[in-house]
Amino acid sequence: MAVIGVSSAVLLTPATAADEGETGSCNPMGAATPTDSENGYTLFVTGDAILANSELEGTLAVGGTATFGDERGYPPLQYPIMHNTGAGNADYDVPTIEGTPNRVLIQRFASDGKVVQVKSQGATGANAEAGVRIADQRVPDGYTFGPMFGGSGTTFFPSGGGNMSPQLESQVQAWNAADPGAGWSVDGAVLDQFPADQGRTLLGTTEGWHAVAAPAGNDQTITLNTEDPSRLPLSAFAGISKFKLEGYSQDSFLVITVAPSDVVDGRLVLPSYSHAGKDPEHKEGISHILFDLSDITGDVEITTADAPVRGAIYAPQASITFPADGKEFEGQLIAKNLTALQHGKEIHTNLFKGRFSGCAPKSTATATPTKSTATATPTKSTAEATATSTGSSSAGVPTQSTAKATATSTGSSSAGVPTQSTAKATATSTGSSSAGVPTQEPSDGADAGRAEGTPSSRPSPGLPSAGAGTAIPVFGAIAALAAIAGALVIRRRHAR
């Protein structure tokens, strides 16, 4: 019986915590979650993808070309993409892009004879409104938008084509003759919508792993401690085709590390979780298993001995293929490239739910700078003086305090929002929120006047405390007010 791991609390360095605070996730699969979203994609591919299995019950984001159909794959004409048919897990929410629910987000569309059908089947609420966005609509050449054949939706198809032409139809997005393609575009490239990938850094932490025993035999249980993550090498599963999992939680999950030597002749055989993705009692176990392929590059064919591939797959440098004779995939995937060829097999969604501790939660605050001012007693004497104190908190977040006496000041914030203040003396403290949004507060640190939900210059929970660094804005503001007072006195003396 192998025992792998080190027992101690997970501790990320302050630098790592600060970086994760900016991207907003302690989730090693967080790169699959758009920056304006709380939920990630089932399949997140930074390069190209080929979808030629039977269907996808989930969500898809492709940073390159998404090609539907392949001569090696499943032959039927249609490729459905929907929330759920009852075959897999339906308990997930779709991501949002620019505030709108989304099911398919691709840079470019291509089809090898397939009619791709994006549906709301199995979805309720906002999930039923999730449609399609294509960043580059110039390809394929000659494609345009038109009314869906036999329905009220919209299709992206070859001009002059018919209902069997290769196309991408959305039954969710109603046809609008006055504005064809409305809601199908995206601001910028697909990958612009996502944060930097911190998965390798998180998974590479050397401390905080709870010791865990590998399964003693096939279909045996791995017991976690409910408090800390655990890690086992794939080699510990020699001769094991299935396993069960207990004691999992958001903080306690299982990472199975894959070494280059585990890939034999380009093929990687993974053990499978014993319970199905829709099993009401045990399906959550899938969401707490992650196969770490951080060190794997090149082409890798993934399969199992005799069951679906279950769990999250993190393979940012690899080109993953689910072969034609492969099984279903139930989980979440991050890969450089993806080819899904399983004949008659589906892809189901079981998003990864494990989180490392020690990072800042994702900020969903509105990126609007705020400004509060303190006005001195009016006087007939006017002067203009500015004092600025600049520094940084112990978390490395820049801070600045400024005091200025002026009649009227007009300008714009760093976000381009026009601002104007009229006062004899104004003291402001300027810094950056943990999300990088400029903020201004009263020099005494009070929260009065801040709009609800607007980020504060105070660090978010999980970031190191600013400590002595927080005194910079306060004393800078005091010094600035002193400078204003001095300037007023001098002005009066000259006036005499």
| Tens-digit pLDDT profile for residues 352-410 | 999 999 775 544 433 333 333 333 333 333 333 343 434 433 333 344 434 343 434 34
Asked if residue 444 lies in contact with residue 481, where contact means CB atoms within 8 angstroms, the answer is: no
| Residue-level pLDDT at 4 | 43
Distance in angstroms (rounded) separating the CA atoms of residues 308 and 346: 10
What percentage of the chain carries pLDDT values higher than 70? 67
Ramachandran assignment for 7, one of left (phi > 0), alpha (psi -120 to 50 degrees), beta (any other): beta
Of residues 100 and 422, more confidently modeled: 100
* Rounded average pLDDT over 202-221: 94
Q: Quickly state the pLDDT bin for 25 (edges 50, 70, 90).
A: low
Q: What token pair was written down for 20?
A: 């994760």
Distance in angstroms (rounded) separating the CA atoms of residues 300 and 255: 19
Residue 472's SS3 state is helix
| Residue-level pLDDT at 359 | 72
- Whether the per-residue pLDDT at 329 is higher than 60: the answer is yes
- Whether the per-residue pLDDT at 478 is higher than 50: the answer is no
| Tens-digit pLDDT profile for residues 262-315 | 999 999 999 999 999 999 999 999 999 999 999 999 999 999 999 999 999 999
Q: What token pair was written down for 36?
A: 């304006």
Distance in angstroms (rounded) separating the CA atoms of residues 144 and 245: 49
Please choose, from the candidates 429, 357, 433, the residue with its C-alpha nearest in 3D space to the C-alpha of residue 13: 357
Residue 438's SS3 state is strand
Q: Which residue has the tokens 């996502």?
A: 194
| Tens-digit pLDDT profile for residues 314-325 | 999 999 999 999
H helix or E strand, kind and range, residue 132: strand 131-134
Q: Which residue has the tokens 């038109």?
A: 146
Of residues 470 and 151, more confidently modeled: 151
Instruction: Give the per-residue SS3 of 324-344.
Output: CCCCCEEEEEEEEEEEECCCC
Residue 470's SS3 state is helix
Of residues 335 and 205, more confidently modeled: 335
Chain mean pLDDT for the chain: 78
| Residue-level pLDDT at 358 | 78
Spell out the residues 6+ positions from residue 105 whose beta carbon is closer than 8 angstroms to its own: 41, 60, 61, 62, 95, 97, 132, 133, 135, 186, 190, 193
| Residue-level pLDDT at 206 | 87
- Whether the per-residue pLDDT at 134 is higher than 80: the answer is yes
Q: Which residue has the tokens 């898809």?
A: 60
| Tens-digit pLDDT profile for residues 219-251 | 999 999 999 999 999 999 999 999 999 999 999
Distance in angstroms (rounded) separating the CA atoms of residues 431 and 438: 6
Taking the model in full, what pTM does it have?
A: 0.71
- Domain segments of the chain: what residues? 24-349, 386-495
Lowest mean pLDDT among 12-21, 95-104, 124-133: 12-21
Of residues 393 and 170, more confidently modeled: 170
- Whether the per-residue pLDDT at 64 is higher than 60: the answer is yes
Q: What token pair was written down for 485?
A: 């007072």
Of residues 308 and 459, more confidently modeled: 308
Asked if residue 458 lies in contact with residue 439, where contact means CB atoms within 8 angstroms, the answer is: no
Spell out the residues 6+ positions from residue 282 whose beta carbon is closer than 8 angstroms to its own: 244, 274, 275
